[in-house]
Structure 1
């Protein structure tokens, strides 16, 4: 018997799409590029030498994001069990959420313009408790639709038994 709280015995994790890495890196780049441009223009136009530390810091942050995001996405996954859905995420600060199907109220599928461009979506699971909502980011759209339908039918079946 395993004592690892983040690796339940007999659970097969389904990873999220690796396209989520590209989408998150592109989004980070879109945020950091204007900051970098401003950080380079400030010392270039003012002639103040110590201001060059700002673009260096922005580049270091960009490098850290480029290193971290792929690791974060690879650590994400979900698993469907007979009575509940599990979601895991995190590298240093790991978390695993378990939501019984009978506690589900409704399931959303969301995809913004960037997500649609990369053919990924987010499945959001709502329960009666606002603290136990759960999202599965970066699923291929077909998998998101399948998971939504599967969760909705399992939730209805559990509620019918009450």
Structure 2
């Protein structure tokens, strides 16, 4: 259940970096493959902030990594928009249990604390999830099957 879940800064959970790295590589194989665009461990280290971007939160249950969500200055498109919710991930066996929603709620609250009034995200697979959490589709990248979302957030 999502009630047992703690949301913490990734910075405070460095002992989990190798587990998170493997999870990211498994989930986003093409991006993090050898020779691919991304470097999972570098991304994770870049998220080690608590009061500036990029920043990342993790979901834990009794110290076990269940998922993550990050807030970054830029994404892979729409460079005029900022900041971006990225790296939204929940381990497969824990999906559909409210953890993703808890992560999104936490990053939205953190975004407000950081002074943002709008946040953006993009997804090829979680369109229904974002819409269910009151995000508004604002664009489509057909070639990549990506939907771009925006959410107005208020304190």
- TM-score of the two chains, using structure 2 as the length reference: 0.31
Rg larger in structure: 1
More helix by share: 1
More strand by share: 2
- TM-score of the two chains, using structure 1 as the length reference: 0.30
